[in-house]
Amino acid sequence: MTKIYYTTTDRILEEDFGIANTRVIELRMAMEQVHRAICKLDNHNLIRIWEHYPELVSVADRYGRNESGLKTFTQEELTSD
């Protein structure tokens, strides 16, 4: 029987990375919250976050690339103010 996942990220976390299914939803929700927060930043603040917490932007970008139709972040956005 094929398992149905709520999001592509859920499938990736569980099937590709071997994360326990008991943790997948909370991890995805955390990634989704980071993505939502980063996406609402103006360019100036996005660059500040990139300079001081590049990991947060990387999480937001990875989540955006996993899920169809979500914003991703280009190098140009992150280096021009």
Q: How far apart are CA 34 and CA 47, in angstroms?
A: 15
Domain ranges, ordered by start, for the chain: 8-79
Question: Tens-of-pLDDT digits for all 81 residues of the chain?
Answer: 888 999 999 999 999 999 999 999 999 999 999 999 999 999 999 999 999 999 999 999 999 999 999 999 887 777 765
For residue 17, what is the DSSP state?
A: T
**pTM of the model as a whole:** 0.86
